Amino acid sequence: MAFTQIYVNLPVIDLDASTAFYVALGGVLNPQFTDETSAQVALGEAVTVQIMTHEQFSQFTSRPVASGAIESILALPAESKEEVDRLADAALKAGGSEPRPPQDMGWLYNRAVDDPDGHSWELLSFDASAMPGTPK
């Protein structure tokens, strides 16, 4: 079985600020699954982020909602280094933060951006054929 889409569900403190962050990443808001407790933002055809207030998120789990701790790093590929920079800069202007400097390994370029709640995203562009150790 091959998965063709991923739905990422994230708890957020400020739904409006988080919505602005994901729209700045190029996301498209889906009003059908958006209300005062939750917003769905499509980050392309295969990736959808459902951001929910902590109260709404808690309806889907009996476990405590994490806040301030990192539990995953999600990665989004971009077409080029310039696109990585454009997306990261837009995310920063929309209230995100950059937890570390950009990394440029020649074959891979990435920047980390955290949304207003600290959910971490890696924006990256790479050429796997140029990776060290790759047969020519």
> What pTM was computed for the model?
0.87
Q: Which CATH number fits domain 6-61+71-130: 3.10.180.10, 3.40.50.1260, 3.40.50.720, 3.40.50.300?
A: 3.10.180.10
pLDDT per position as a tens digit, 104-119: 999 999 999 999 999 9
The full set of domain ranges for the chain reads: 6-61+71-130
For residue 136, the model assigns a pLDDT of: 65
pLDDT per position as a tens digit, 48-74: 999 999 999 999 999 999 877 888 899
pLDDT per position as a tens digit, 94-104: 999 999 999 99
What is the overall mean pLDDT for the chain? 93
How many Å apart are CA 105 and CA 122, to the nearest integer? 14
* 36 contacts: CB under 8 Å, gap ≥ 6: 15
